[in-house]
Amino acid sequence: MITLDENVRVENALRDIPGLQQFRRSDARTANPTSQGITLRGLGGNASSRAVLLLDGVPQADPFGGWVAWPGYDALALGSARITRGGGSGVEGSGAIAGSVELFSQDVGNLIELGAAYGSRDSVEADLLFGRKLGQGQLTISANYARGDGFIPIIKSQRGAVDRPSEYEQAGVAVRYAVPLNEDTELQANVRAFTDDRERGFAFSENHNDGADASIRLVNRASDWQWSALAYVQIRNFDVSFGGVADDRNSVSRVFEQFDVPSTGLGARFEVRPPVGENVELRIGGDWRRTVGETKENYFFADNDTPRRSRNAGGSTATYGAFVEASVQAGERLTLTGGGRLDYWTINDGLLREIELIDPFPGSVRTDEKFDDRDGTEFTARGGFAYDASSQLTVRGAAYLGWRLPTLNELFRPFRVGDDATAANALLEPERVKGAELGLDWKSDAVSVGITAFYNKLDDAVANVTLATGPGTFPGVGFVAPGATYSQRQNLDSIESKGIEIDTEFDLSHLVKNLSARAAYAYVDAKVNGSGDAAAVDGLRPAQIPEHNVSAGLRWNLENGTGASLSMRYTSSQFEDDQNVMQLDDALIVDGAVAFAVNDRLLIEGRVENLFDARVEAAISNTNIIERTFPRTFWIGLRSKIE
């Protein structure tokens, strides 16, 4: 469990967890929204999430692509996050093949909190938190706004006339109401909305992403039979433009645009915990999730405003699952856990339609394909133990099976990164993971240490497999420029990942009151097993997976809010591409913050991101053009709390 700092973007706070990563190193101020899925333990290689994200029990993955719209979470009144590494947990739904990230709303009580900060490059951040007791319930309203002129992502020595700062503007609002219906049952209602505009640093690279969510949850905490029921809806839409930049970076032309990509996610869940004895906890339940979405695209532009062709692709998926999980206190020192779930899945209404837009044959249909409906069943299971070898030492282990259904994005949506193009694949099979872990936890009054060794094998892993090099016109994407790559999403034979994770925390109050420290390390040895079209990547490392990841931090806080913190993250080098040709350098980032309480209601805050202005490489093109993440950024702000 980690505490979330209100001054740190949620996605950046989670980056301090070694082994947890997004596909790209850049954050939501400059990254393409479709590249921001999350994963754990080296089970990456594409941009869809292989770890499940939950908010108060509600699944959060984008219904179309499985990525995460991170700016929408900065508006929430979040208190903490719990990260579970490793798959096989059936109670959290299907898809948790790498683990889970659970976000929890905080109980704010009667409070008004306002924060505002000004930063480098004319950046502004503001947030609001309002909490009031309303009747017998608790009302919480939270909101945020952020904008900035941005920086030029391309490194200075490679810039041309087309390169410019990557502006961004993001906002969100959330309303939560929790009220007891009786002494045992509580109703929780949540509504939130967000909007997100960002540019990639040149013309024809703008992105827009917005969405709205709503959920209703009933929780019964009776002393005997406990149960919960949940229903939710997600509505999303995004549009994105892609520009092809000349080799000298002095001209750019529009090559592709997804002008409308709407999607909807619907779901429900029920769980009951029957009383089966003091030493047994039993959870039984089921869930349902349905996603519907399509992409509407223009491509093969005659000029920057006139597309020659259009494409419409999409479909729907659904999963119906039932689960059971038990925890048994088998002895004074031994706890056993086990569980499983069975899912029935469907992929329906898949289509791909392409038409000509201009002469000589406007309106003529180039492709009109409807894909066969598919369905199947998958099994998830996990078994584990924890043995208290002493009052300070616990030995634990687990083995698990899990699966993930390909997203609508992977099945039906092609995409481009610069001139490189990747086609979708409507025939993708579900991914299946099997894994095991063994670890120990040691705790004293001032120190806690956790060490875990793990092994995972992800069969039928979905990855972007390079098939050809332009120039040429290729199925599913159209024209690919000279030197650019043409890829397709395919199922690899497998990705194997093994490694070790170390987490430590230190209470240093005996040195300085309220001083604490943490340090963590993850080592991941991952490789691809490929044959057929993917034979060229056999034995290579998955794209975007670093071997070493280290984080550390020092924090000092007083009750009135005065405090200081210093943190660092180190990421070793990683490959940009599946063929391990283009390598992103290793990087060390240092961040810091200070706060001074003027009085009981007012704080003055200062922050710095990337203190030493390290060049953190986020991407590299086939022409060796390097894109970096956020440079050094200073912030100064005020925060006021009225209770």
Cα–Cα distance measured from residue 120 to residue 467, given in angstroms and rounded to the nearest whole number: 43
195-to-20, 231, 599 alpha-carbon distances in Å:
25, 23, 35
Q: Is there a contact between 26 and 609 (Cβ–Cβ < 8 Å)?
A: no
Q: What is the pLDDT of residues 257-314, one digit of tens each?
A: 989 999 999 999 999 999 988 899 999 999 999 999 999 999 888 888 889 889 999 9
Most confident of 51-60, 100-109, 362-371, 581-590: 581-590
> What number of CA atoms fall less than 13 Å from residue 378's CA on the CB side?
25
pLDDT at 618 exceeding the cut of 80: yes
- Which DSSP category does 4 fall into? P
What is the spatial distance between Cα 371 and Cα 380, in angstroms, rounded to a whole number? 27
Distance of CA 325 to the CA centre of its chain: 26
Check if the beta carbon of residue 609 is closer than 8 Å to that of residue 629. no
* Chain center to CA of 236: 16
The pTM for the full model equals: 0.91
Q: Is 410 buried (19+), middle (13-18) or exposed (0-12) by CB count in 10 A? A: buried
Mean pLDDT, range 564-575, rounded to an integer: 95
Rounded to 10 degrees, what is the CA torsion of 389, 395, 396, 397? -120
**DSSP symbol at 613:** -
Per-residue pLDDT reduced to its tens digit, 511-561 = 999 999 999 999 999 999 999 988 989 999 998 999 999 999 999 999 899
Quick one: tokens of 358? 């201009």
Average pLDDT, the chain: 92
Distance from C-alpha of 454 to C-alpha of 437, rounded to nearest angstrom? 4
pLDDT of residue 623: 85
The whole-number average pLDDT for the span 488-500 is 94
DSSP state of 429: P
Q: Classify residue 354 as exposed, middle or buried by CB count within 10 Å of its CB (0-12, 13-18, 19+).
A: buried
pLDDT tier, 386 (very low <50, low <70, confident <90, very high otherwise): very high
Question: If you search the block for the tokens 């409507």, which residue do you land on?
Answer: 426
Q: Over the stretch 591-604, which tens digit does the pLDDT of each residue have?
A: 999 999 999 999 99
| DSSP line for 180-194 | ESSSSEEEEEEEEEE
| E strand or H helix at 411 | helix 408-412
The pLDDT value given to residue 418:
66
Distance CA 525, CA 547 (A): 6
CA angle centred on 617, ends 530 and 211, rounded to 5°? 80
Among residues 629, 632, 630, 554, the alpha carbon closest in space to that of 594 is found at: 554
Which has the closest alpha carbon to 31: 201, 162, 176?
201
359, pLDDT greater than 80: no
Q: Provide the pLDDT confidence category of residue 413 given band limits of 50, 70 and 90.
A: confident
Phi, psi dihedrals of residue 350, rounded to the nearest 5°: -70, 135
Contact indicator for 485, 508 with CB cutoff of 8 Å: no
* pLDDT single digits (tens) 303-328: 888 898 899 999 999 999 999 999 99
Cα separation of 307 and 256, whole Å? 8
What is the percent of the chain with per-residue pLDDT over 70, rounded to a whole number? 100
pLDDT of 144 > 80? The answer is yes
Whether 497 and 458 have beta carbons less than 8 Å apart is answered as yes
The residue-averaged pLDDT of 497-506 equals 96
pLDDT for the residue numbered 24: 86
Cis peptide before 360 (omega within 30 of 0): yes
- State which amino acid sits at residue 528: V
624, 584 Cβ separation under 8 angstroms? no
Q: How confident is the model at residue 422 (pLDDT cuts 50, 70, 90)?
A: confident
Q: What is residue 92's three-state secondary structure? A: helix
Answer whether 460's CB lies under 8 Å from 404's CB.
no
- The pLDDT of residue 45 is 66
Q: With 90 as the cut, is the pLDDT of residue 481 above it?
A: no
> Is residue 126 exposed (0-12), middle (13-18) or buried (19+ Cβ within 10 Å)?
middle
Q: Which residues of 169-182 are buried (b: 16+ CB within 10 A; e: fewer)?
A: bbbbbbbbbbeeee
Spatial separation of the C-alpha atoms in residues 115 and 601, rounded to whole Å = 12
Query: What domains are there in the chain, each with its CATH number?
Result: 2-642 (2.40.170.20)
Highest mean pLDDT, choosing among 1-10, 72-81, 111-120, 421-430: 111-120
pLDDT of amino acid 77: 85
Confidence of residue 16 (pLDDT cuts 50, 70, 90): confident
Q: pLDDT tens-digit profile of 83-123?
A: 888 887 888 888 889 989 999 888 888 999 999 999 999 99
Q: What pLDDT score was predicted for residue 419?
A: 75
Listing DSSP states for 477-544 in one string gives TEEE-TT-EEEEEEE-SEEEEEEEEEEEEEE-TTTSTTEEEEEEEEEEEEEEE--GGGGGGTTPPPTT
